[in-house]
Chains A and B, each alone.
Chain A
Amino acid sequence: MRSTPSPRGIWTVPGTAITVAAALVSLFSLVPLGFVAVVTVQTGWPTVAALVFRPRVGELLLNTVLLVACTVPLCIGLAVALAWLTERSDLPGSRLWAWLAVAPLSVPAFVHSYAWTTLVPGLHGLPAGVLISVAAYFAFLYLPIAAAMRRLDPALEDAAASLGLPPWRVFGRVVLPQLRLAICGGSLLVGLHLLAEYGLYGMVRFDTFTTAIVDQFQSSYNGPAANMLAGVLVACCLGLLALETWVRGGARYARVGSGAARAPARFRLGRATTACLLLPALVAAVTLGVPLVTLARWLVRGGAGVWRASEIGPALGQTLLLATAGGVLTTLASIPMAWLSVRAPGRLQRAVEAENYVVGSLPGVVVALALVTVTVRVAMPIYQTIVTILLAYALLFLPRAMLSLRASIAQAPVELEQAAAALGRPPGRALWATTIRLGAPGAAAGLALVSLGITNELTATMMLAPNGTQTLATMFWSYSAEIDYAAAAPYAAIMVLFALPLTWLLHAQSKRVAGR
Chain B
Amino acid sequence: MTFLVLQSVSKRFGAVTALDDIRLSVPQGSRIAILGPSGSGKTTLLRVVAGFEPPDAGCITLAGDVLADGRAAMPAHRRGVGVVAQDGALFPHLSVRDNIGFGLQNGDAGRGGRVAELMRLVELDGAMLDRRPDELSGGQQQRVALARAMARQPRLMLLDEPFSALDTALRASTRRAVSNVLRHAGITTVLVTHDQAEALSFADQVAVMRDGRLLQVGTPQDVYFRPVNREVAEFLGDAIITAAELANGTAACALGPIPMDSGHQVGPGTVMLRPEQIHLAAIAGEPGVPSCSRPCVGEILEAEFAGAVCTYVVRMLHPGPGPAGPLVIRQPSNRLLDVGTTVRVTVTGKAHVFAGPD
Contacts and interface: CB of A to CB of B under 8 A. Distances in A.
9 tightest Cβ-Cβ pairs between the two chains A and B: A257-B87, A163-B103, A161-B76, A155-B89, A162-B83, A159-B89, A177-B93, A256-B133, A253-B92
Contact of A166 (B75, B102, B151, B158): B75
Contacts of B52: 158, 161, 265
B165 A257 contact: yes
A265 B51 CA distance: 13
A161 B77 CA distance: 5
B88 interface: yes
A160 interface: yes
Contacts of A251: 93
A159 to B, nearest CB: 4
A55 interface: no
A336 B51 CA distance: 52
A354 to B, nearest CB: 23
A160 B92 CA distance: 13
Given A159-B148, A161-B51, A259-B87, 4 more contacts: A162-B83, A163-B103, A164-B80, A254-B134
A177 B91 CA distance: 10
A256 B141 contact: yes
B50 interface: yes
Interface in B86-101: 86-94
B41 interface: no
A156 B93 CA distance: 11
B259 interface: no
Contacts of A252: 92, 132, 134
A258 interface: yes
A165 interface: yes
Contacts of B148: 159, 163
A163 B101 CA distance: 10
Interface string A105-139: 00000000000000000000000000000000000
Interface in A195-243: none
Interface residues of A, number: 29
Nearest to A181: B93
A494 B149 CA distance: 58
Contacts of A178: 92-93
Contacts of A164: 77-78, 80, 103, 152
Contact of A258 (B80, B87, B133): B87
Contacts of B50: 158, 162
Nearest to A174: B91
A167 B78 CA distance: 11
A178 B90 CA distance: 12
A180 interface: yes
B174 to A, nearest CB: 14
B181 interface: no
25 contacts: A153-B89, A155-B85, A155-B86, A158-B47, A159-B85, A161-B75, A162-B50, A162-B76, A162-B149, A164-B103, A167-B77, A177-B93, A177-B94, A252-B132, A255-B92, A256-B90, A256-B134, A257-B87, A257-B89, A257-B90, A257-B138, A258-B87, A259-B86, A259-B165, A265-B52
Nearest to A256: B133
Interface in B15-48: 47
Interface string A464-485: 0000000000000000000000
Contacts of B149: 162-163
A178 B133 CA distance: 14
Interface string B59-70: 000000000000
Given A158-B83, A158-B85, A159-B83, A257 B141 contact: yes
A164 B77 CA distance: 4
B344 to A, nearest CB: 48
Interface of B: 47, 50-53, 75-83, 85-94, 102-103, 132-134, 138, 141, 145, 148-149, 151-152, 158, 165
Contacts of B93: 177-178, 180, 251, 253
Which of A164, A255, A265 has the most C-beta atoms of chain B within 10 angstroms of its own C-beta?
A: A164
Interface in A134-193: 153, 155-156, 158-167, 170, 173-174, 177-178, 180
Contacts of B132: 252
A265 to B, nearest CB: 8
Contact of A162 (B82, B91, B94, B133): B82
A64 B53 CA distance: 49
A165 B76 CA distance: 8
A165 B80 CA distance: 11
A160 B148 CA distance: 10
A148 to B, nearest CB: 12
B102 A257 contact: no
A83 B303 CA distance: 61
Contacts of A256: 87-88, 90, 92, 133-134, 141
Contacts of B91: 156, 159-160, 174, 177
A243 to B, nearest CB: 20
Contacts of A255: 92
Nearest to A155: B89
Contacts of B94: 177
B158 to A, nearest CB: 8
Contacts of B151: 163
A394 B47 CA distance: 53
A163 to B, nearest CB: 3
Contacts of A155: 85-87, 89
Interface in A240-288: 251-259, 265
B88 A257 contact: yes
